[in-house]
Each structure stands twice: as structure tokens, then as C-alpha cells.
Amino acid sequence: MAGNADGAADHGVTALTADTSVSPDLKHGKLSLPEVLAQSVANMAPSAAMALLPLLVFAGAGNGTWVSFTIALLALLCIGYCAAQFARRINSAGSFYVWVSKALRPSLGHAAGWGLILGYLATGMATVYGFAIYGSDLLTRLGAPDNRGILVALFLLDTLLAAGVAFLDIGLSARTSLILESISVVIILILCVNIWVHNGTVFDTHQLTLAGVKPGGILVGTVLAIFAFVGFESAGALGVESRSSFRNVPRAILWSCLIVGLFYVVVSYSQIYGFQNVKGGILGSTAPLPDLATHTGIGGFAYVLDIGIISSMFACTLACINAGSRLIYSMARDGMGHSTMGSVHRARNTPHIAIAVAAVPMIALPIVTTIMNQSAVNATGWVGTVATFGFMLGYALVGIGAPVFLRRIGVPDPLAWVLGLLGAAIMVFVFWANWLPQTIPGHLFPALTGAYAWLPYIFLAWTAIGIVYYAIWQRRNPAKAAQAGNRYHTPEEAEPVAAR
């Protein structure tokens, strides 16, 4: 395809061609809709998110916690709508990297992909920490010693097992994630029903009337609630491997956001309700879900909850490896990275080198911080925050890119402009509120302290490295740069995009 060094002249095309230059390739058309949906749900890790986030959101939003999660749901649905517009028309393992490249330019596509790689890697680190934290808690309950050696062993178990499943087969990965997340979600919903039965009703007047709630507190809570949704877009990385991808992938993106978002609203509401008559409330708990099991008369269920949360952590680690490796694989096939990262295992048809590249930092940082005697709980918060910044960069670019892409292919969509720009604005505001809270009128957001004050700069440094790398690569490889983001992997891609 003709175009300048940044690919800007290529955006008006209405037909996309398949890339058949590399063999073997990923397995085409293998995954069903439930399996693709499982990728996004597992990457969100709803059970793991509900293990702690309602407590953190309540610290700011109080009885408006469910409102914070509702606002976050609506904001991410805006981004989900835009992502779905791309997924209906472009089929690639590169997801945001390819989509933004087609909509805006390859340099911005690289920025989106670079941000999501950070997001998947850091989220994977957070779930490796979480797997070890809750695994150690369960073992301690059963009489095992609590020491750093146990944590390191659990780090290794989670990461190596997840990488092994990812290497063996994408179908096995999807089914494993689907089963584990389904079990863990059901376990938490059982607890919610028990809370309502124990209290005699599902209605909590304190929450429904927003007793004692301040608008600024809800805004603070919304920032934290957005953390729970990151990863919902990761079904886009399985477009090549999905059946009926132009239908199933956008459905998976939107349905995962909506279904899991509603789960968040229900579970956060139930947790706050469950602690209304407990001394100290939810803020007096360090493990809200197991504590609620005890308070509502099913203390033995705490063990089951631990197992459910551990399962959710593992499923998320697996989903992060799958999504992150496919982004690395796609970018390497375009020349951005060592060629081996763009290779596929001949027997398994999985991007085995990219899987290893994604898995190594997920296990390395937890081991290093543990050896340095850093708290696993604190480290989880650090990497989780950095992950969110990476995702928000990709989300903002997709929000801006979707209406531009639709206009260029002759399918103008006013709703995409409204939702895309609104979603992008929210992502920018959330980062601003975390980076420079003191500049926001009214001082609604507290100033960052300790390690958290440095996290935005770690993200900015990662972004700067990506910009410099791409600039050097583009200068050395102008022909490849002109085609970046234009490789597609199925014959369906020859169909005019405007027709879909």
C-alpha cells in the first residue's frame, strides 16, 4: 500500500489484504464467543477486583461506592463502543496497535500498543502478587508457615503454570479462564445472596439515599473504580483466533464491560450493606469478603472465597500473558522488535517466544521486591496503578481514533464522536487527577505521597522510551514504517471494511 513514512496517506483505503508472508500463523477461527468473552472477563479479574476495591473506593465515596462503580461502567462503555467499531471491521492480533494505526497514524498506533503492553505486563505482575497473597493466606489458615519462601514459590507456580497453559493452546487457555472465573464469580454471588438473606432485604437506605456522601468523594472513588475495568478490551487481541470474529469480538468487548460492570455494582453495594451494622464498618476490615462470610454466619465459606480469589488471580495472569504476547507478536511482525518475537510454534500455533517475553517480567519483579523485603500488598498497588496508566493511554487513543476511522471509510457515526471524545476526556482527567491533583479546583483529590508520587513519572518514562524507540526505528526503516499496522491475518480482510 502506498503511503508516507508514517502511513498517513493509507487511511482512506476501503479494502484490506491478508498477510500470508509468514508461516506458520496463529490458529484461525478456533475460539467460540464464550471463549473470546472469557479472555476479557479473565483480564478484568472481577472476583479479584471485588476482594479489595470496594474497601478502597468506600474510603472516598462512602455510601456512594455503588455510584462510583456505575460512573466508571458508563465511562468504559464509551471506550468499549469505540473499540467495537474497530473490531467489527479490522481483524488482527494487534488490537489497539493496529486499530489506532489505521485510524490516526502508525506512530500513535505504536503508542497505543506500547501503553497496552505496559498495562498487560503490570496487571500480570499485580495478579502474580495477588495469587501469592491469597495463596499464602489460605496456606496459613491451614497451618503452613508464613514466610518469603512461600511467596516466591507461589509466584513461580502462578506464572509458570499460566505461561505453560498459554503455550499449549489458546483454546485451553480460554476454557481454563472461563471455568475459573465462572466458579469464582458464583462463589461471590452466593456470599451476596447470603448478605441479603441475613439482613432480611436487598434495600439499604443509607446507600440509596447517599447518606453522608460528598460529590468529591464519589469522584475520588470513580478514579479507583476504573482500575477494576482495565483489560475488558483484550478480546480484541484474539480476533484472528476467533470464529466469526467481526461479530464475536465486538460482542465480547461490550458484553464483558457491561456484565462485569453490573457485577461490580451489585457486589460493591452488597459489601457496603453487609458491613452497615458491623462495628468499624468495612474500613475496619482487611479482608472484606472472608470477614463478611463470618459476620453473616458462614465462616467456613472464607476458605472457599480464598480459593475463588486465587482462581481469579490465576485466570487474570493467564489472560494478561495471552493478550500481551499477541501485541508483542504483532508489533514484532511489523519489525518493531526482534524477529523471533513474531514467530509461532509450529506444533502449537502459539506465539511461544512472545509468551516468554511477557511472562519473564511478570515473575521477575515480584521476586526482586520480595527479596528486597517490600510488602507484596503495597507492590500490588504500585504495579496496578502503573498498569492503569498504560491502559488509559490506549483507551484515549481509541476513543479519538474510532470516529476518525469511521469517517474515513465512509461510515460517519455521530454517536462515536460523542462517546469517543467523552471517553478520551475521562481518561485524560483520571491521569491528571493522579499526576497533578493539587491543580484541580477545590482540591477534590488528595496529593500523592510516597511511592505513588513517582508512579506517573514511571509511566511517562515508559511512554518516552516508546516514542524515542519508534522515532529511531521509523528513521531506519521508512518502508516498514509506512506499512506498520497494515498486516492482517485472514482472507476475510479482503472484504471492504465499509461494508461491515
User: What's the confidence (pLDDT) of residue 443?
Assistant: 67
* Cα–Cα dist 89/250, whole Å: 10
Q: What are phi and psi of 195, to 5 degrees?
A: -65, -45
User: What's the confidence (pLDDT) of residue 487?
Assistant: 58
* Cα–Cα dist 138/311, whole Å: 12
pTM of the model: 0.85
* Cα–Cα dist 457/470, whole Å: 20
**How far separated are the first and last CA of the chain, in Å rounded?**
21
442's CB contacts (< 8 A; 6+ apart) are 216
* Cα–Cα dist 140/50, whole Å: 22
Given a contact cutoff of 8 angstroms between Cβ atoms, the answer to whether 162 and 359 are in contact is yes
Given a contact cutoff of 8 angstroms between Cβ atoms, the answer to whether 485 and 94 are in contact is yes
User: What's the confidence (pLDDT) of residue 53?
Assistant: 84
DSSP code of 494?
G
Give start and end residues of each alpha helix (H) in 334-454. Answer: 352-371, 376-408, 414-435
Question: Strand, helix or coil at 387?
Answer: helix
User: DSSP readout, 170-213?
Assistant: HHHHHHHHHHHHHHHHHHHHHHHHHHHHHHT-S--HHHHTTTT-
Strand partners, 242: 31
* Cα–Cα dist 94/26, whole Å: 12
User: What's the confidence (pLDDT) of residue 486?
Assistant: 65
Question: Residue 39 carries which side chain, given as an amino acid letter?
Answer: Q
pLDDT digits (tens, 9 = 90+) for 402-457: 999 999 999 989 999 999 999 999 989 888 877 877 777 766 676 777 888 888 89
Question: Strand, helix or coil at 184?
Answer: helix
Strand partners, 31: 242
* Cα–Cα dist 169/26, whole Å: 10
Given a contact cutoff of 8 angstroms between Cβ atoms, the answer to whether 329 and 341 are in contact is yes
* Cα–Cα dist 495/500, whole Å: 9
Q: What is the dihedral of CA 26, 122, 109, 79, to 10 degrees?
A: 100
Q: Is the dihedral of CA 118, 124, 128, 129 positive or negative?
A: positive
User: What's the confidence (pLDDT) of residue 461?
Assistant: 96
Topology of domain 29-499 in CATH is: Amino acid/polyamine transporter I (1.20.1740)
Question: Closest by alpha carbon to 433, among 216, 283, 114?
Answer: 216
pLDDT digits (tens, 9 = 90+) for 483-497: 776 655 444 443 444
Q: What are the cell numbers at 140?
A: 496459613
User: What's the confidence (pLDDT) of residue 172?
Assistant: 77
* Cα–Cα dist 307/159, whole Å: 17
Q: Which residues of the chain are under the pLDDT cut of 70?
A: 1-27, 29, 442-444, 446, 485-500
Residue 390, number of CB atoms within 10 A of its CB: 24
